[in-house]
Amino acid sequence: MKPHLKVFRQRKASMIREAMEARDRAFSYRKFNVGVSALCFNEEDLTYRTFRGINIKPEEEGDTICGERISIGAARAEGFRLLVGLVVVGKQQPDGVTKIVRKVLPPCYKCRVFFRGLLGHGISPETLVYMLDPDTEEHETLSVAQILATYNGRIHA
Ligand SMILES: [Zn+2]
């Protein structure tokens, strides 16, 4: 993963801009908008590409489609199976399941289960998630391993 993570660091600034733009296209009945840019690697032609995602939650009832999962799904559909890193731009809020409060918006419970299920199938423990609150400019980078270690013990809380 090391060479891939170097590319992620190199592209992060432009990925932040992509995620910010995408965030304006999100749809949330309560105006809680999230934008994502995912850097993915195609193991067949050895190329990198970023894919954007947004959250969509038209009504309170029913599921949220998260930007993280949309971007990863779009990438895989195009043959970009390896997720190197995500940039997630959204306002800070406490985790819905564990109630853990950070200064940023970490992936939700359903996204964490999704990451866990894809470990070894396109997601590495070293895959990075850079989170940015666009209002406060607080930001934090965690690996998928760190995210799962922080939240997984209480995944069924
Ligand atoms: Zn989510």
How far is ligand 1, taken at its centre, from the CA of residue 127, in Å? 16
What angle, 0 to 180 degrees and rounded to 10, lies between the N-to-C axes of helices 144-151 and 109-118? Answer: 120
| Contacts with 124 (C-beta within 8 Å, 6 or more apart), sequence order | 1, 82, 83, 144
How far is ligand 1, taken at its centre, from the CA of residue 138, in Å? 19
Residue 156 has a pLDDT of 41
Q: What are the tens digits of pLDDT across the range 112-146?
A: 999 999 999 999 999 999 999 999 999 999 999 99
Whether 157 is covered by a domain: the verdict is no
Residue 155 has a pLDDT of 42
Whether 156 is covered by a domain: the verdict is no
Q: What are the tens digits of pLDDT across the range 100-110?
A: 999 999 999 99
Q: What is the pTM of this model?
A: 0.95
CATH number at 36 reads: 3.40.140.10
Which domain does 118 fall in, by range?
2-150
Total number of domains constituting the chain:
1
Read off the pLDDT of each residue in 143-150 and give the average, rounded to a whole number. Answer: 93
| Contacts with 156 (C-beta within 8 Å, 6 or more apart), sequence order | none
Whether 26 is covered by a domain: the verdict is yes
Whether 37 is covered by a domain: the verdict is yes
Radius of gyration of the chain, Cα coordinates, nearest whole angstrom: 14
Residue 89 has a pLDDT of 98
How far is ligand 1, taken at its centre, from the CA of residue 39, in Å? 17
Whether 155 is covered by a domain: the verdict is no
Residue 151 has a pLDDT of 84
Residue 74 has a pLDDT of 98
Q: Is 96 a residue whose pLDDT tops 60? A: yes
Q: What are the tens digits of pLDDT across the range 60-72?
A: 998 899 999 999 9
Residue 139 has a pLDDT of 98
Q: Rounded distance, CA 154 to CA 57, Å?
A: 25
